[in-house]
Amino acid sequence: MQQTVDVGTADFAVAPQGYMLASQGIGSCVVVCFYDQAKKIGALCHIMLPKQPAGSELNPLRFADTAIPLVLEKLEQMGSSHHDLVAHLVGGASMFQNVGTFINHVGEENVAAIQAILAEQGIPIGTMQVGGNRGRNVQFLVESGALTTISNT
């Protein structure tokens, strides 16, 4: 029987097979799921913004440029290698279209920043379910790497 680990905003979890990683309320944020098929290890990270401001003491898991290295480090501690990983991206919606330019484009900026970081790390992207104007929930089954996304209406 599989156990479910719920991952909140600005957080992550790494787990072996037998676990399902889940996150809800993904709007302009981006969830990155990493999967090592050979070792049956997975990670889910719920990222809010592209880049941590210089000198900031905010939670580094909020930002793509600081969260992804932390997740990769944890995956390596569990025996995975960058070369064995595939990433899946969910989110990056335009949730606040009439609020302002920065907020309207933060989803796109999150996706672009994450794509650049993954390319720099040599990690291919398997699937992308990004954009649009609706939030999503995601479930990631570590044993198979299956990803289920549900759009919020």
SS (H, E, C) the chain: CCEEEECCCCEEEEEECCEEEEEEEECCCEEEEEEECCCCEEEEEEECECCCCCCCCCCHHHEHHHHHHHHHHHHHHCCCCHHHEEEEEEECCCCCCCCCHHHHHHHHHHHHHHHHHHHHHCCCEEEEEECCCCCEEEEEECCCCEEEEEECC
Active-site hit among 22, 29, 106, 147: 29
Query: What's the CA dihedral at 137, 101, 55, 30 to 10 degrees?
Result: 20
Identity of the amino acid at 146:
A
29 belongs to the catalytic site: yes
Query: Which amino acids are annotated catalytic?
Result: 29
